[in-house]
């Protein structure tokens, strides 16, 4: 760096999760030599950043824990980033522009910042169930949350074939955990307070079909009831008097954005830390991104918004694009559960008799299929697609990109699930004369018919007269079929 | 055929010649029979075509006596091209090139070659540029074709040989993934090699369009144009997450898996689905089909390569193949389907700006030393690396660009991206000379045009898509007044003061020199002789000596990096250079048709092919057409930020609604490349032909009302 260059501005990132790690990467992609910004990342977990989204695969046992790390150990040093893992930001002094950091085993140290970024994610909400937590707030033996790599290792360590497991909460994460554990051979029961699972993303019909599909994998459901008491080594007693045996209890009852630190520093918080399109909090030198941030028009708890926000904030902090703004992300929820294909997005509550929207709905519980499409002015505004994977991909793509839906709504909704007759090839007799039989030599059926009438009365003769079959040869069967048909009509 | 002034075709006293098709890289075996002025073509049994020919091959003789054929040099006077004698034409070109070089420096003269030229011509062209002209400015249209696959292949394997196995090996595969390849339409006889896989329900085709190839697939993945890399990452992710990683192979034969996985780990199938529109379940199914197969191949072609991230995209597919343990294993592998007739050989012998014969790097001291010694010049007389094709063309006539250009075997006015801009740049040149068989759109702009020989009129070698060197044999004498490209180069070189023996005109002598110069290089041809080729020996390079049997499968024991190991390359997806917006809401992608080849300069002169596809069209989903107030058969305009192309609407129900397709074989207002993007791949210099943002409009000219084809049941 030359002597006249300005001292790089100090950026402190609190949180080395998916958002914090991505922000550090994005900053270094735009300022590779650290000329504009110095970067310190403080992360409370004792690991290098990892991909939280893939934790369901770790629980299911399909990915080893090493496979989910986002950065190799050497990453920070190679990218001129100061990294403090296992350390926690405990306080912010917005006037002095310092944070106090607690390293593992050490006392608090103060760190100056020019810009502070809160990327603290969210933490699992532990419902008030007797016996679930000790006096000191730690979880009772056999109880695990489902948020961190450590949680997953503990779950995986306790989950043996035949182990009875209670999953508290049948939301997206609870279902993913349940499916993964069922795949390991555990006897899984999901306890869910609402009348159908994943009620935030699914309407009743879809929730019921989903529960049916999961029942096929041996998962049991107790809906409309909550856990009342946990007895270690025994199981969970329910509000409705029921009982679920459990050697392992996985708590997936929802998450709460981490707002405590921000609130105690006087920053405006609601459900999450309030931010504008520049990811600024109520203090212009403090930013928040990811699960802990609350941005109007952004659904909570998904990684794509977190990454989009990290990109915009890196543009702003480095000056790579000072006009960059984050305008929200259209969210599509996809369940990652082996053998179950579910997508949900936008307005899923409208019913076919809705006066405002056009709603197409198909319910096929016997085959585990449920599909609902909600449209306004030809644009997809919502959908639930269960058991129709290719249609789900296509409909969600139209939703995300705001491309008008095809006129044939049913074909759109069904994708490859369309009845086979609709796409089956016609017979030699019924196919139109203009259909190309030999692609290699552009020979239409009518060309073969003409050649036949002029005297080419065999496959070889037709080949000689028209060149059909002399390219790749794959139409030989069809040419023979046409020859047979012509012969039969003589 | 209408024959206003038929060029006289003279049957050489050769009877029937065993040769190969003039067009694509499959180089189907054919025999050419010349009797009493009539020339006929018949398919010949050869491994690549199994005795088949496509319609282009069947009709290729029509080009020999086409009235469009040039039979005399043309020189421009007072704005018009006039017939001229050979000496006049050669003198003019030599004088102009000499003067421009003397005035502005040797680099003011440029050379542009082609992937359809024989190895001999490619070699001679590279030598001519470096030795006779002393310019660094030489490149060729293969940049628009193979360069991304070549760069990625070299990164991964240490060597780029399109298919490092004979194409007949494919027949034994029970799964094949074709990414961005449409061989059923563009090289139909190739399709027979896919029947093993499709018979086992194992053919996966990745293509935004439902092409004839995709229609034959057991699984068609239809990503949004420009998102191929995301899809490759998603399938790799699925393969690893579902436990299909071949850990033993990865450990013993490859390096750098971890960094590559660290990128792919962020591309889980559900995330990829949102970008590509390809169902996560289908990504998993593709991974399972490939990994569950006894023998499997991953093959790529232009659809996935012609992107501003084309090199990384190919690396993405190669990473997948490596993770599954395919390359360098008997019966499995990764390969790239070369498109142009000599796309493979064309990139090996020095017409590429950064290369010297034998696939040597021009910036490597030992290579420079070797080649300079063979050419009788000092190493520092040898120019360095020049710009890539589009950069060369984009600077024509500018302060820093070349002022005079020689073009051989390429029709850049139609085939280059942003064609209008390239046409304007060509017009800015002080001097343009073109060698072609017909008056192509580029030739029509030239100051001097040389009429040159074509396939059946000369001997020459081609290197097909599997790296096998073939001898094309002369079957007929060229029309009077036509000379070979080698003679043109020889004539110019002597006029520029080079000794005639340095630029011989007999193909075999040129080939013998190429053999010597390539010796010791990656693409070592030294053991290949015309005699061995005439005897029908199957010689896949490298062939280091005349007893060597050739190398059909070079990677079985080791890859070509010094340590013998393959490399994963960490790649990640960032999206196409241009996105849709309100003004340009659709994506356009471009490609080839069965009946035409490349810019169409040849095939548009064959009546039978024009009867199949004689006019420019745009394929559109019927709902999309309706949205733009268009219907089937109507004349439309397709407009991007760079220009407008005129095309007739063809409604095709299998099109994605956000995508239109344009074939790139047609000239003038119908050039698809008027709209294509000029964004380049930073590694390979490949332009982004396969995706740009467009809108549709109504063309106020004459519309075609109804389909010309008759319905006959
Ligand atoms: C099992 C599972 C599956 C998921 N699947 C999906 C999915 O399929 N799709 C999807 O979009 N999303 C999914 N999510 C959600 C996704 O993981 C989150 O949206 C994403 O991780 C948010 O990133 P973040 O950086 O904001 O928070 P996090 O990744 O949670 O990172 C926050 C980090 O900050 C640390 N931290 C907190 N406070 C402090 C402090 N004071 N000092 C220092 N460090 C601190 C925390 O320990 C943590 O490491 C899933 C989540 C889980 C748990
Ligand atoms: S164009 Fe290609 S596929 Fe067709 S005949 Fe010629 S070499 Fe064969």
Shortest Cα distance, chain B CAs vs residue A420, angstroms: 14
Strands A443-444 and A436-438: antiparallel
C-beta atoms of A440 and B243 within 8 A: no
Which H helix or E strand runs over B233? helix B228-241
Q: Do residues B645 and B613 touch, judged by C-beta distance below 8 A?
A: no
Q: What is the mean pLDDT of residues A417-426?
A: 50
Q: According to CATH, where is 1.10.10.1100 located in chain A? A: 436-488
Q: Which ligand neighbours the alpha carbon of B602 most closely? A: 2
The mean per-residue pLDDT over the stretch A359-370 comes to 93
CB contact under 8 A, A472 and B43: no
Whose tokens are 């009797």? That residue is B35
HSE toward the beta carbon, residue B436, CA cutoff 13 A: 28
Ligand 2 within 6 A of B167 CB? no
The CATH label, of 3.40.190.10, 3.50.50.60, 3.90.280.10, 3.40.50.2300, for the domain at A3-122+256-318 is 3.50.50.60
Phi, psi of A187 (to 5 degrees): -95, 105
CATH code that applies to domain A436-488: 1.10.10.1100
The Cα–Cα gap between A59 and A396 comes to 27
Structure tokens at A435: 């259909």
Nearest to B627 among A53, A404, A472 (CB): A404
Give the distance (Å) from ligand 1 centre to CA of residue B552.
51
Which residues in A lie closer than 8 A to residue B277 (C-beta atoms)? 393-394, 397
| Residue extent(s) of CATH 3.30.390.30 domains in chain A | 341-413
Which protein residue's CA is at the shortest distance from atom 4 of ligand 2?
B54
What length does chain B have? 713
Domain A143-253: homologous superfamily in CATH: FAD/NAD(P)-binding domain (3.50.50.60)
Helix (H) / strand (E) element for B319: namely helix B310-323
The DSSP letter of residue A476 is H
**Nearest CA-CA distance, residue B273 and chain A, Å:** 6
**CA dihedral over B544, B545, B546, B549, signed as positive or negative:** negative
Q: Closest Cα to residue B684, out of B314, B163, B230, B253?
A: B314
Q: Which DSSP string corresponds to B416-430?
A: SSSHHHHHHHHHT-S
Q: Quick check: helix, strand or coil at residue B131? A: helix
Query: Which pLDDT value is given to residue A417?
Result: 63
Count the residues in chain A.
Answer: 490
* Cβ–ligand 2 contact at B250 (below 6 Å): no
CA atoms B276, B281, B282, B285: torsion sign: positive
| Residue B113, both tokens | 């070659």
* pLDDT tens column, A233-288: 899 999 999 999 999 999 999 999 999 999 999 999 999 999 999 999 999 999 99
CA–centroid distance, residue A364 to ligand 2 (Å): 49
What is the Cα–Cα distance from B236 to B290, expressed in whole angstroms?
11
- CA–CA dist B54, B594 (Å, integer): 8
B589 close to B621: Cβ distance less than 8 angstroms: no
DSSP codes joined into one string, A21-68: HHHHHHHHHHSTT-SSEEEEEEESSSS--B-GGGHHHHHHTSS-GGGG
pLDDT the model gives residue B704: 41
- The H or E element that residue A486 is part of is helix A476-489
**Quick one: pLDDT at residue A131?**
94
CA dist., res. B602 & res. B24, Å (int) = 12
CA angle A141, A142, A143 (to 5 degrees): 90
A289-321 pLDDT, tens per residue? 999 999 998 888 899 999 999 999 999 999 999
Tens digit of pLDDT for each residue in A459-486?
889 988 888 888 877 788 888 889 988 8
Give the whole-angstrom CA distance, residue B372 versus residue A7.
Answer: 51
Longest dimension (CA), chain B: 72
pLDDT at B701: 60
Q: Is the pLDDT of residue A175 over 90?
A: yes
Of B50, B268, B623, which is closest to A53 when you measure between CB atoms? B268
Closest listed residue to residue A471, CA positions, set B535, B188, B350:
B188
Q: DSSP code of A139? A: B
What ipTM score was computed for the predicted complex, to two decimals? 0.80
Residue B224: its chain A contacts at CB < 8 A?
A: 397
Tokens 């549709």 -> residue: B696
Within chain A, which residue ranges are assigned CATH 3.50.50.60? 3-122+256-318, 143-253
| CA–CA gap between residue B120 and residue A116 (Å, rounded) | 64
Record the tokens describing residue B406, joined without a space: 């020689």
Residue B646: partners with Cβ closer than 8 Å, 6 or more residues away = B616, B635, B636, B637, B638, B669, B670, B699, B701
Asked whether A304 lines ligand 1 (CB < 6 A), one says yes
Q: Tell me which residue in B270, B580, B711 faces A433 most closely, judged by beta carbons.
A: B711
Tell me which of A470, A485, A489 to substitute to probe the interface with B (most B C-beta atoms closer than 10 Å). Answer: A470
CA B703 to chain centre: 33
Could you read off the pLDDT of A59-93 as tens digits, one per residue? 988 888 888 999 988 999 999 999 999 999 999 99
Cβ contact B186:B154 at 8 Å: no
Mean of the per-residue pLDDT values for chain A?
91
| Distance (Å, whole) CA B558 – CA B428 | 50
Identify the bridge partners of residue A280 per DSSP, sorted by sequence position: A287
List pLDDT tens digits, range B647-677. 999 999 888 889 999 988 888 888 888 888 8
Counting ligands in written order, the one closest to the CA of A102 is 1
To the nearest whole Å, the CA of B519 is away from the closest chain A CA by 37
Which helix H or strand E contains B665, and what residues bound it? none
Residue segments in chain B with a per-residue pLDDT below the cut of 70: 1-15, 37, 701-713
Q: How confident is the model at residue A364 (pLDDT cuts 50, 70, 90)?
A: very high
User: Which residue in this structure is represented by tokens 């002169």?
Assistant: B605
Residue range A171-181: average pLDDT? 95
pTM confidence score: 0.86
* CA B249 centroid distance within chain: 32
Distance CA B333, CA B325 (A): 8
Q: Coil, strand, or helix at residue A330? A: coil
B688 phi, psi to nearest 5 deg: -90, 75
Lookup: tokens for B322: 């490596």
CATH 3.30.390.30 assigned to A341-413? yes
pLDDT tens digits, B74-133:
999 999 999 999 999 999 999 999 999 999 999 999 999 998 899 999 999 999 999 999
Total Cβ atoms within 10 A of residue A333: 20
What residues contact residue B447 under an 8 Å CB cut-off, 6+ apart? B75, B76, B92, B96, B431, B432, B433
Phi, psi values for residue B255, rounded to 5°: -130, 165
Contact A67 B54 (CB under 8 A): no
| pLDDT at A163 exceeding the cut of 90 | yes
Which domains does chain B possess?
7-63 (2.20.25.90), 74-144+344-505 (3.40.50.740), 149-337 (3.40.228.10), 586-698 (2.40.40.20)
| Interface residue B657 vs chain A (CB under 8 A) | yes
What is d(CA B641, CA B543) in angstroms, rounded to the nearest whole number? 48
What is the pLDDT, as a whole number, of residue A1?
Answer: 43
Q: Which of A469, A466, A470 is nearest to A455 (CA)?
A: A466
Q: Whose CA is nearest to atom 12 of ligand 1?
A: A302
Cα–Cα nearest to B64, from B606, B665, B618: B606
For residue A467, give the nearest of B58, B192, B282 by CB distance: B58
Identify from B281, B608, B655 which residue to disrupt to test chain A contact, counting A C-beta atoms within 10 A and taking the largest count. B281
Residue B419's Cβ-count burial label (10 Å; 0-12, 13-18, 19+) is buried
Q: ∠ CA(B107), CA(B147), CA(B48), 5° rounding? A: 125
Can you tell me the distance from the alpha carbon of A53 to that of A406, in angstroms, rounded to the nearest whole number?
A: 33
Distance CA A416, CA A413 (A): 9
């Amino acid at each position: 760096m030359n002597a006249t260059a300005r001292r790089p501005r100090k950026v402190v990132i609190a949180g080395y999760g998916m958002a914090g790690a991505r922000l550090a990467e994005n900053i270094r992609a735009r300022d590779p030599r650290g000329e504009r910004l110095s970067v310190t990342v403080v992360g409370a977990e004792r690991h290098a950043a990892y991909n939280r989204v893939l934790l369901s695969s770790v629980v299911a046992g399909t990915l080893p824990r090493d496979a989910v790390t986002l950065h190799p150990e050497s990453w920070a040093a190679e990218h001129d980033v100061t990294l403090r893992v296992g350390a926690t930001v405990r306080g912010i002094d917005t006037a002095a522009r310092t944070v106090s950091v607690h390293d593992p085993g050490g006392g608090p140290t103060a760190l100056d910042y020019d810009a502070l970024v809160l990327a603290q994610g969210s933490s699992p909400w532990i419902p008030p169930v007797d016996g679930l937590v000790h006096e000191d707030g730690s979880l009772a033996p056999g109880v695990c949350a489902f948020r961190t790599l450590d949680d997953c290792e503990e779950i995986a360590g306790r989950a043996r074939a035949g182990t009875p497991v209670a999953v508290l909460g049948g939301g997206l994460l609870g279902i993913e955990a349940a499916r993964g554990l069922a795949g390991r051979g555990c006897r899984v029961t999901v306890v869910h307070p609402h009348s159908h699972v994943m009620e935030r993303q699914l309407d009743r019909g879809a929730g019921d079909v989903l529960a049916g599909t999961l029942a096929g994998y041996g998962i049991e459901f107790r809906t409309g009831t909550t856990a009342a008491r946990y007895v270690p080594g025994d199981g969970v007693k329910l509000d409705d008097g029921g009982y679920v045996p459990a050697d392992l209890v996985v708590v997936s009852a929802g998450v709460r954005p981490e707002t405590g630190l921000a609130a105690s520093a006087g920053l405006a918080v609601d459900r999450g830390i309030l931010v504008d399109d520049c990811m600024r909090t109520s203090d212009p030198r403090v930013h928040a991104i990811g699960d802990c941030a609350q941005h109007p028009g952004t659904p909570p708890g998904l990684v794509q918004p977190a990454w989009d926000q990290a990109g915009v904030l890196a543009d702003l902090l480095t000056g790579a694009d000072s006009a960059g703004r984050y305008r929200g992300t259209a969210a599509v929820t996809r369940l990652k559960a082996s053998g179950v294909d579910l997508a949900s997005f936008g307005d899923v509550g409208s019913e076919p008799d809705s006066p405002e929207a056009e709603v197409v709905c198909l319910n096929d519980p016997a085959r585990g299929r449920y599909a609902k499409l909600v449209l306004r002015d030809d644009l997809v505004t919502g959908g639930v697609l269960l058991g129709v994977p290719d249609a789900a991909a296509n409909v969600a793509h139209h939703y995300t990109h705001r491309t008008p839906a095809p006129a044939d709504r049913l074909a759109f909704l069904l994708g490859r699930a369309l009845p086979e007759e609709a796409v089956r090839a016609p017979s030699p007799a019924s196919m139109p004369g203009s259909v190309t039989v030999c692609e290699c030599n552009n020979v239409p059926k009518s060309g073969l018919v003409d050649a036949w009438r002029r005297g080419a009365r065999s496959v070889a003769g037709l080949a000689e007269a028209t060149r059909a079959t002399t390219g790749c040869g794959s139409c030989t069967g069809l040419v023979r079929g046409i020859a047979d048909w012509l012969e039969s009509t003589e | 055929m209408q024959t206003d002034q038929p060029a006289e075709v003279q049957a050489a006293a050769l009877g029937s010649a065993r040769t190969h098709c003039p067009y694509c890289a499959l180089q189907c075996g054919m025999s050419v029979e010349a009797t009493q002025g009539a020339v006929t073509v018949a398919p010949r049994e050869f491994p690549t075509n199994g005795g088949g020919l496509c319609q282009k091959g069947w009709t290729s003789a029509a080009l020999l006596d086409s009235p469009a054929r040039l039979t005399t040099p043309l020189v421009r006077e007072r704005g018009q091209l006039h017939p001229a004698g050979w000496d006049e034409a050669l003198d003019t070109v030599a004088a102009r090139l000499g003067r421009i070089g003397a005035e502005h420096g040797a680099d003011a003269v440029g050379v542009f070659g082609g992937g359809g030229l024989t190895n001999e011509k490619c070699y001679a062209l590279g030598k001519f540029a470096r030795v006779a002209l002393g310019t660094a400015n030489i490149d060729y249209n293969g940049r628009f074709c193979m360069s991304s696959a070549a760069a990625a292949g070299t990164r991964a394997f240490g060597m780029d040989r399109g298919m490092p196995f004979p194409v007949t090996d494919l027949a034994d595969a029970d799964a094949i993934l074709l990414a961005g390849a449409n061989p059923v339409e563009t090289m139909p006889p190739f399709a027979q090699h896919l029947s093993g896989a499709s018979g086992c329900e194992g053919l996966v085709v990745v293509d935004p369009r439902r092409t004839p190839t995709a229609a034959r697939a057991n699984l068609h993945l239809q990503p949004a144009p420009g998102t191929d890399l995301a899809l490759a990452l998603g399938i790799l992710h699925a393969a690893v997450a579902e436990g299909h990683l071949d850990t033993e192979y990865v450990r013993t034969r490859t390096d750098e898996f971890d960094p590559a996985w660290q990128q792919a780990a962020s591309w889980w199938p559900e995330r990829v689905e949102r970008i590509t529109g390809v169902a996560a379940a289908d990504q998993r199914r593709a991974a399972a089909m490939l990994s569950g197969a006894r023998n499997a191949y991953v093959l790529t072609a232009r659809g996935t390569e012609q992107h501003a991230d084309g090199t990384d995209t190919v690396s993405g597919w190669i990473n997948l193949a490596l993770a599954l343990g395919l390359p360098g294993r008997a019966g499995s592998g990764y390969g790239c389907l070369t498109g142009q007739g000599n796309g493979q050989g064309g990139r090996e012998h020095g017409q590429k700006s950064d290369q010297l014969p034998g696939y040597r790097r021009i910036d490597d001291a030992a290579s420079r030393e070797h080649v300079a010694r063979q050419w009788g010049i000092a190493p520092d007389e040898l120019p360095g690396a020049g710009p890539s094709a589009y950069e060369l063309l984009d600077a024509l006539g500018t302060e820093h660009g070349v002022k005079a250009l020689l073009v051989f075997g390429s029709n850049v006015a139609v085939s280059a991206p942003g064609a209008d801009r390239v046409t304007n740049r060509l017009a800015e040149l002080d001097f343009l000379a073109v060698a072609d068989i017909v008056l192509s759109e580029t030739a029509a702009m030239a100051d001097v045009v040389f009429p040159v020989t074509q396939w059946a009129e000369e001997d020459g070698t081609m290197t097909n898509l599997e790296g096998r060197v073939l001898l094309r044999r002369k079957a007929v004498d060229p029309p009077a007044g036509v000379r070979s490209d080698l003679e043109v180069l020889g004539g110019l070189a002597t006029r520029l003061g080079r000794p005639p023996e340095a630029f011989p005109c007999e193909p075999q002598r040129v080939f013998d020199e190429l053999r010597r110069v390539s010796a010791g290089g990656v693409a070592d041809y030294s053991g290949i002789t015309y005699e061995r080729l005439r005897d029908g020996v199957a010689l896949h390079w490298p062939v280091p000596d005349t007893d060597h049997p050739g190398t059909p499968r070079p990677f079985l024991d080791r890859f070509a990096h010094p340590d013998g190991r393959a490399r994963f390359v960490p790649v990640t997806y960032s999206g196409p250079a241009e996105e849709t917006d309100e003004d340009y809401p659709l994506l356009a992608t471009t490609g080839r048709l069965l009946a035409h080849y490349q810019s169409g300069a040849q095939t548009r002169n064959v009546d039978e092919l024009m009867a199949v596809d004689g006019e420019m069209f745009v394929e559109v989903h019927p709902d999309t057409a309706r949205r733009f107030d268009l219907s089937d058969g109507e004349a439309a305009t397709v407009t991007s930020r760079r220009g407008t192309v005129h095309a007739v609407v063809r409604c095709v129900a299998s099109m994605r609604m956000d995508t239109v397709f344009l074939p790139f074989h047609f000239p003038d207002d119908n050039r698809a490349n008027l709209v294509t993007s000029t964004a380049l791949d930073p590694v390979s210099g490949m332009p982004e032909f396969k995706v740009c943002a467009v809108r549709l409009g109504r063309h106020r000219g004459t519309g075609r009302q109804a389909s010309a084809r008759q319905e006959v049941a």
